[in-house]
Amino acid sequence: KQMDGDIALTGFYDGDALYMIQGDSKSNYYLAKYSEKGKKIESNYGIQELMNGYGRTFGGGWLYYTNNKDNTICRMRYDCSDKQIIAEDYNASMLQYLVNGFLYFREGKISEEDEFQPFQEYMIYQDGSNPVSLTSKAIITTDNGIQFIVEDNYAKLYKYIGKETDIVIPNEVQGYECKAFFASNADKESFDNVTPYKLIYDEDLSYNFIQGGIEITGYSGIRTGDMPNIAIPNEIKGTPVISIGKKAFNERILDGVYLQEGLKLIGDEAFSECSLDKIVFPDSVEEIGEKAFWNCPFAGLDLILPKNLKKIKFAAFSFCKANTITIPSSLEEYEWGFLIECSGPFIVDPDNRVLLSIDGMLYGRGENSLTLLAVGTNRTDEIIVDEDCEYIGNYAAVGSSISGVKLPSSLVGIGQYSFGYCSNLKSIVIPKNVQSIADAAFKETGLTKVTINRNCKLGEESFGSNVEIDYYDNSAVER
């Protein structure tokens, strides 16, 4: 009779009064106090935030409640005064006031169905001090914020509370072997915005001792656990890993690789023909070998080459589908064709002394001229080669979808396969100053006729077959 038609959600009896949490038809919530005989004594409307969580309890003159919007445990007096946050970073539910002034609660997560799924139990003193885990499976936290729970005598992934986007899963934590499987009650969503890499076991690697450290020469392991990515160790038996040798990991099924600080050399074909879509380079890498990442997709990745990279060899990243490739200022030496049929665009640090990016295309710097090195297979427009360019490098636009190209009058040479397999290229004006056109420079394009200088030196199949060749002096025609 005294509730005025409002809904009673919960209530408790303390001392000589009954307290009821009530809500009206407009979802306004308040704490009503009744006498033992049921007479309403007062109503306090300062409890709206009580409804933001999955747990409420009382004791010792305080109302305790969880606020799952900011992951806190709070309390206030019965008259809604003296509001306090007593614990932070807990997504809590099932809050209970226990004897001797302790609170019990479960930490968990909210499912897609808006249901609370608990996975850890705690006891905490009523003022928020002395939290104690009641879960039988102890939580182990690493320095980089990875939490493990021991199940079946193995350390299994439980939760990630760090701030990194790429993390290495160790082989052992506190004496327990870690195989990178998730625990049965793991908070998998906490790993949604991070890429974990499982550290390779030393016994799965073959290696040699070289001057200054270890060179890894092979990998015999298989992908295990819930992690499709691997991390290369930075040391083996106390000796630093400084080199990855020729074909050490080639043709392996790997989604991602984490290379650790201290590595200096990535050898020829080290990861060629792998299925890599992600890689983490340390700043220490100074050289990347021939075909080191040949035909590794890196699809959708913004590929940033190591900060201290000094040398890169032929076809190092050929057929790479990365969104962008960024080259540091440190690069001093390169071989033509290190980016054969890469998607582009290409970004070069403006302080680099040997390379330059113009309109997303890659140029090599000379003393007084430029060489076009890479166009990018994603280009579908007509490209304009810079007016200071004197040479089109080998494989510069091979396989590209460009619809046309404007060559500068300064151009003197066109390298092998430079426009090979550009099937959308239907016409081109080759400047009179061009003195050489190398093997297969325009092989398998859409060209049917070109005009060149009579003194221009042609290579084998410079224009492929069925292309009519005219000379600027009109003195002869060749087919």
287-288 and 361-365 beta bridge pairing: unpaired
Q: Tell me the one-letter amino acid at 3.
A: M
Cis amide bond preceding 233, omega within 30 = no
pLDDT of residue 228: 76
pLDDT of residue 67: 83
Three-state DSSP string of the chain: CCCCCCEEEEEEEECCEEEEEEECCCCCEEEEEEECCCCEEEEECCCHHHHHCECEEEECCEEEEEECCCCEEEEEECCCCCCEEEEECCCEEEEEECHHHEEEEEEEEECCCCCEEEEEEEEEECCCCCCEECCCCCEEECCCCEEEEEECCEEEEEEECCCCCEEEECCEECCEEEEEEECCCCCHHHHCCCEEEEECCHHHEEEEEECCEEEEEEECCCCCCCCCEEECCCEECCEEEEEECCCCCCCCCCCEEECCCCCCEECCCCCCCCCCCEEECCCCCCEECCCCCCCCCCCCCEEECCCCCCEECCCCCCCCCCCEEEECCCCCEECCCCCCCCCCCEEECCCCCCEEEECCEEEEECCCCEEEEECCCCCCCEEECCCCEEEECCCCCCCCCCCEEECCCCCCEECCCCCCCCCCCCCCCCCCCCCEECCCCCCCCCCCEEEECCCCEECCCCCCCCCEEEECCCCCEEC
Confidence of residue 478 (pLDDT cuts 50, 70, 90): very low
Confidence of residue 477 (pLDDT cuts 50, 70, 90): very low
pLDDT tens per residue across span 228-259: 799 999 999 999 999 999 999 999 888 999 99
Low-confidence winner among 25-39, 196-210, 315-329 (lowest mean pLDDT): 25-39
280 against 99, higher pLDDT: 280
Task: Look up tokens 């690697």; give the residue.
Answer: 205
Q: How many CA atoms lie within 13 A of 479 on its CB side?
A: 1
Tell me the C-alpha distance between 121 and 31, whole Å. 28
Please check the confidence at residue 38 and state whether its pLDDT lies above 70: yes
Please check the confidence at residue 112 and state whether its pLDDT lies above 70: no
Confidence of residue 353 (pLDDT cuts 50, 70, 90): very high
The pTM (predicted TM-score) of the whole model is 0.70
90 against 261, higher pLDDT: 261
> Which whole number is the average pLDDT over 416-428?
95
Q: What angle do CA 424, 428, 432 make, to 5 degrees?
A: 160
> Which whole number is the average pLDDT over 441-460?
94
71 against 163, higher pLDDT: 163
For the chain, give the mean pLDDT.
88
Dihedral sign (CA 72, 87, 64, 148): positive
pLDDT tens per residue across span 126-135: 888 887 777 6
pLDDT tens per residue across span 186-235: 888 899 999 999 999 899 999 999 999 999 999 987 655 556 799 999 99
162 against 52, higher pLDDT: 162
Low-confidence winner among 39-53, 61-75, 386-400 (lowest mean pLDDT): 39-53
110 against 429, higher pLDDT: 429
Confidence of residue 136 (pLDDT cuts 50, 70, 90): low
pLDDT of residue 139: 79
State how far the alpha carbon of 41 is from the alpha carbons of 17, 19, 36, in Å: 9, 10, 10
pLDDT of residue 479: 39
Confidence of residue 114 (pLDDT cuts 50, 70, 90): low
Please check the confidence at residue 72 and state whether its pLDDT lies above 70: yes
pLDDT of residue 57: 86
> Which whole number is the average pLDDT over 437-463?
94
pLDDT of residue 11: 81
